[in-house]
Amino acid sequence: MSHAGGFCSKNNPESKKPYETPALSELQRLVWNRGGSDNHVDQVWPNLYLGDAWAARRKTILQSLGITHILNAADGPYNINTGARYYRDQPIQYYGVQAFDDTSFDISIFFNEAADVIHKALNTGGGKMFVHCAMGLSRSATLVLAYLMIYENLTLVEALKTVDSHRGICPNTGFLSQLRVLDIKLNSERKAAPDL
């Protein structure tokens, strides 16, 4: 299965061997082999952008990219407090998640909700979603990875490689561990589902 714009290709030479979720240490190694850019904002999937607070506050950049939806993964008074009012003069739908970039923070409670928001935005005519946190490396990257796993049926390894090829990301160890739990769950569901 390949996607437009060279974003993902499932031509895995090991596809005969069933996929198993790697150990956390192996996932960390994948993250440390950073490949993508460190721009303020990068397109990591068709019409899905990942970036930092600097880009989130630059309305001219958001306009030039045609952003229609924003998911702030660092919402709230102690984080990137933009909120819907900040964009009220823009044709942008805003969604905020109050996540903290801390290994003990449970970001998995937002996986399905954030994935739904991203999915709906991308399926709106001309929809372009910008997901950000402070640096665009951990919280926002984690929610984008969860979306790719839940809605685009990528494994965690495929999602990491896909996003990292466009933007260097670095989810903290706690977030990687929570993504690993999601990967194991989705993988077992895929194995249980009859091939269509």
pLDDT in tens, 138-186: 999 999 999 999 999 999 999 999 999 999 999 999 999 999 999 999 9
Report whether CATH 3.90.190.10 matches the domain 40-99+106-191: yes
pLDDT in tens, 110-130: 999 999 999 999 999 999 999
Q: Which residues contact 148 (CB under 8 A, 6 or more apart)?
A: 45, 154, 158, 159, 162, 163
Active-site annotation holds for 133 = yes
Residue where the block lists tokens 């900040």? 86
Helix 111-122 to helix 139-150 angle, to the nearest 10 degrees?
70
| Whole-number average pLDDT of the chain | 90
Which two structure tokens, joined as six digits, stand for 153? Answer: 């049926």
- DSSP alpha helix (H) spans, the chain: 24-32, 53-56, 59-65, 83-86, 111-122, 139-150, 156-164, 173-192
Regarding predicted confidence, which is higher, 65 or 10? 65
Kindly list the distances between the CA atom of residue 10 and the CA atoms of 120, 184, 187, in Å, as whole numbers in the listed order.
Answer: 24, 19, 15
Distance between CA atoms of residues 38 and 146, nearest Å: 21
| DSSP designation for 124 | S
pLDDT band at residue 16 using 50, 70 and 90 as cut-offs: low
Amino acid (one-letter) located at 13: P
Regarding predicted confidence, which is higher, 5 or 38? 38
Average pLDDT over residues 22-44: 86
Distance between CA atoms of residues 147 and 112, nearest Å: 8
What pLDDT score does 34 carry?
64
Distance between CA atoms of residues 105 and 27, nearest Å: 19
Helix 173-192 to helix 156-164 angle, to the nearest 10 degrees?
130
- pTM for this entry: 0.89
Q: Among residues 31, 133, 143, 182, which one is catalytic?
A: 133
What pLDDT score does 79 carry?
87
What pLDDT score does 70 carry?
98
